[in-house]
Chains A and B, each alone.
Chain A
Amino acid sequence: MTIPLVELKNVTKRFDKRTVLDRVNLTIFEGDITTIIGKSGVGKSVLLKHIIGLLKPDEGEILFNGKRLKGMTRKERKSFKQQVSYMFQSNALFDSLTVFENIALPLREKTRLHEDAIRSKVLAQIDRMELTEVTYKYPSQISGGMQKRVALARSLVTEPKIILFDEPTAGLDPLRKNTVLSMIAHYQRKIRFTAILVSHDIPDVLFISNRVAIIDSGRIPFQGTPMELEQSENPVVQEFIKGQASLKDELTGLDTRRDIENMLIQEMGRVNRLQESFPVVMFTIDNLEQINEHIGHIAAQEIIQCLGTLIKDHFDTADTSARYSQNEILMVLPHTGLKEAKQVLDELATDLQKQEIFQAKTYPKACFSFSILAGLAEARPGTDLDSLMGQVLSHQKIIAHLKCTKNGETA
């Protein structure tokens, strides 16, 4: 078994007489996005501050690459700190420095790079985060969402191996929230850092996480993959998910994956009993990565939002649709015939193509292609869930697309 990158062993922390962490054990593996979820005030931030060494445990120990944080020499601690960066819940931007200076600070102070190299690095980061127009503004002059992006840029600029995110989406609207999460996932794939997130945005945050840990009354009753979380029988986990997960996906206003899976299982049972069938549709936004890359994360989230709204408008209220993953929407139509479903799908395709998001003039500066796929399959008696999903995906074809044809070229 691989050595975990960070390991907390029986960590206990008390503030006065209140025990915030009670013999917490947590393992974090390299290259993963680990999300720590929990109600507010249960010690999520405290846990994170222990990992970076802002707080020291009363009992227990924290290991980094199998080495105790407490027993590190000065040099080892320095090299550890250089590999870690921390994004504060309150952003903790230096309010007397401009956006540019904020992002440049860790480079200016901790590296021996030439000012020109620093400048180009920082400007590239600013460009990626879509902050170009506020480069020389002060943090108090820009919006909350922008401040979050500045904080994200500042934690990314040193290219650390581990980034700790303390509530990166707190206080943002659903669009920005998903934007920040998608940015984290995007850069995590690109730069391959290990991310530790603290959040309570279920289910959004589960789409991007490899591992999840729940923290409740000072302990960690569960840690595992998001899939294990959803299937966990542990009553604490069950209660927690029910209590914390929002009923609707905030970005699209559709149901959550959990709801639709429950419903699908129920409907399949009905199908088997009554020997009926019903259609299932899966929409996928292709090339979401390219959209992120070329026109930005916000635009990508807007496309998902637009698709969700259109789907809601076109289908019956008795049908259920849910955000299935970051770029997939699953739809179950238990009271619709296959033919009818096809017809509605065609109408939706025509409408979708007319949307602004599919007009090249919406993106005057970028040249890229993307498409939305839809696959229709029928749940018949005897089909199981996995093969149904397989069928839906294999039947997918393009229903709307945008192709860049600037200068006669196709991107």
Chain B
Amino acid sequence: MDQTTNSVFAPFNWLGRFSIAFIGELGAIGIFFIHAFCLIFSLPLQVNKTIQQVFFIGAKSILIILLVGIFTGMVLGLQGYYTLVKFGSEGVLGAAVALSLIRELGPVMTAIMIIARAGSSMAAEIGIMRISEQIDALDTMDINPIRFLVSPRIVASLISFPLLTAIFDVIGIIGGYLSGVVLLGINSGIYFYRIESSVVMQDVSGGFIKSLVFGIIVSTICCYQGYFTHMRPGGFGARGVSLATTSAVVLSCVLVLIVDYVLTSFLL
């Protein structure tokens, strides 16, 4: 009887274990974030380190954001045109492109591009520091490793994400202009008029809030995964770092999309 019960309940057991572990992990990440966030304000402020991180997370990501932004805008213009032209309303293309970029695609695509570029490197860098005892060394020097390594990255993300999102939005709208106006011949005045008339401040501030939240999620999860590389079951050393990097990228992408839905439903 026992065996049958066991096999019947096995999936539920697994689900239960998984859920508890997942919730526990989220709680740990939350505490990790609060700890790192409070340490941002401890004196003396780490201005230099934060600027370095803004340069790394922000400035060095501009090129990739430009590239992705322009093509996203162009494809939006193309797809939007072919859909709208069926209803004879290709004039609203500008509004369609701008709204979908500012409200949705800008923050999400920017977050995913930064996860790929800077998030993975945060997890790997901190993970390597953990396995080569550099974090322990900081601890023995009485330098708080979370303050030293994590706090500047969180501040830098909070600064970089909204700015990069703004760049993405603008360049995306230009991309839509290129495909819609230059290639497909929509009137350029109408394209921009529609944008101006349909985009309100609430759209922009919604996108801004999203990008801030994504900045926190990405930097916290990527740093957390690297920081606790050594606690990870099933992988030590280089393998541990590779697993940490992978789960940092996967987990932050998934969470960005889930939180995006939740946030949108609140912001609408």
Q: Which residues of A contact B (CB under 8 A)?
A: 52, 54, 78, 81-82, 84-86, 88, 90, 92-96, 105-106, 109-110, 158
Contact = CB atoms under 8 A, between A and B. Distances in A.
B257 interface: no
Contacts of B134: 92-95
Contacts of A106: 141, 143
21 contacts: A52-B140, A54-B136, A54-B139, A78-B142, A82-B142, A86-B137, A88-B133, A88-B136, A90-B132, A90-B133, A92-B132, A92-B133, A92-B134, A94-B129, A96-B125, A105-B143, A106-B141, A106-B143, A109-B141, A109-B148, A158-B141
Interface in B127-161: 128-129, 132-134, 136-137, 139-143, 148
B134 to A, nearest CB: 5
B142 A110 contact: yes
Contacts of B132: 90, 92, 95
Contacts of A96: 125
A105 B133 contact: no
Interface of B: 125, 128-129, 132-134, 136-137, 139-143, 148
B50 to A, nearest CB: 15
A84 B140 contact: yes
Query: Interface residues of B: mostly helix, strand, loop or mixed?
Result: helix
Nearest to B135: A92
Contacts of A54: 136, 139-140
A96 to B, nearest CB: 8
A110 B133 contact: no
A95 B128 CA distance: 10
B140 A85 contact: yes
Nearest to B125: A96
Nearest to A96: B125
A96 B137 CA distance: 14
B140 A81 contact: yes
Contacts of B137: 86, 88, 92-94
Contacts of B136: 54, 88, 92
B103 to A, nearest CB: 39
A31 to B, nearest CB: 21
Given A82-B142, A88-B133, A90-B132, 4 more contacts: A90-B133, A95-B132, A110-B141, A158-B141
Nearest to A81: B142
A84 B142 CA distance: 9
A411 B56 CA distance: 54
A351 to B, nearest CB: 48
A109 B143 contact: yes
Contacts of A95: 128, 132, 134
